[in-house]
Structure 1
């Protein structure tokens, strides 16, 4: 008696009892999404602490007297200039705004991954959360590019280099990907709503 030959396709194996090839679950409790949600929660708390410390440092930098011996040096060219209060406030303020922006991004990501953990990714709220992430990312990227150009020309000439247009390619691509994902989630939410109305 000849035995049937098993095909090596994973889809064929999935239909044969005892040969189910399953990867890790991506949605629901105990899934990869729930693990990532925990990691995002930890990162959110750490980022909140860093942002709070930077805010306190920014306030302190307004009142703490500066020594005339403090210098800022470019590692590449060795050019040095005195550390002024305006330059110090800009540096701390820029880092505070940068971390604060990514704190907003993480807050929205946590909410998105919470819906993934519940097994319900196509919520209408996730569309607006993804759009907020895209807008925040675009604002942070544009702000860094603009203010770095101003500071390199006015406050730290020769010490800080301005970013070129090529430095914006990756952030712009990331922003576009986020907005495309928002549209995918919007379409998914629309299809789910239509199927619920049909049922």
Structure 2
């Protein structure tokens, strides 16, 4: 017995085209957020922050530290990099879904795009892990716990799945190329 989906998955008017629209909207929103964060980063260079403090609370009460320009630039820069990384991922996913909407997913460009998604996801994951470790060790010691290696399990698994999908697409593109050469 063959399983049939109740809806069309590839081509125009398919679930792929609906997901492509959702990716387009998310891409525009993420682009807007990234631009705002980059503008905040530039503004943070000039805005005086020395009169402000930052408070880290915990069960033991927490700590209060002066807000420094370096801290503001680090925070806004980290968020900019985070959202910028996901903006790059969405850009590649939009291009992949464009080929799905056309009904032609096994293109060599999609292999490269999926590998880029995997690499960017790995870099973003490592960056978040390192940034949270730095914040826990330097900024809020005793208030915030550093991430352990266990928190990396799901993101690393996701990165590996993306790289495996890239290889599936590579094999699909190879088979497609072979069938085009066969008479």
2:109 counterpart of 1:118: no
Shift of 1:122: 0.1
**Equivalence for 2:77:** 93
Tell me which stretches of 4 or more aligned residues in structure 1 moved more than 4 Å: none
Conserved 8 A contact 1:101-1:140: yes
Shift of 1:148: 2.0
Aligned residues between the structures: 182
Task: Provide closer, same or farther for how the CA distance between residues 77 and 184 of structure 1 changes in structure 2, counting only shifts above 3 A.
Answer: farther
In 1, distance between residues paired with 2:107 and 2:43? 43
In 1, distance between residues paired with 2:141 and 2:39? 27
Gaps of 5+ in 2: none
Equivalent residue for 2:19, pick from 25, 36, 44: 36
Q: Choose 1 or 2 for highest CA Rg.
A: 1
Gaps of 5+ in 1: 1-8, 15-20
Conserved 8 A contact 1:72-1:159: no
In 1, distance between residues paired with 2:145 and 2:115? 31
The root-mean-square deviation of aligned C-alpha atoms, in Å, is: 1.7
In 1, distance between residues paired with 2:49 and 2:59? 25
Please report the TM-score for the alignment, with normalisation by the length of structure 2: 0.93
Task: Provide closer, same or farther for how the CA distance between residues 67 and 173 of structure 1 changes in structure 2, counting only shifts above 3 A.
Answer: same
**Equivalence for 1:165:** 149
Task: Provide closer, same or farther for how the CA distance between residues 195 and 70 of structure 1 changes in structure 2, counting only shifts above 3 A.
Answer: same
2:90 counterpart of 1:106: yes
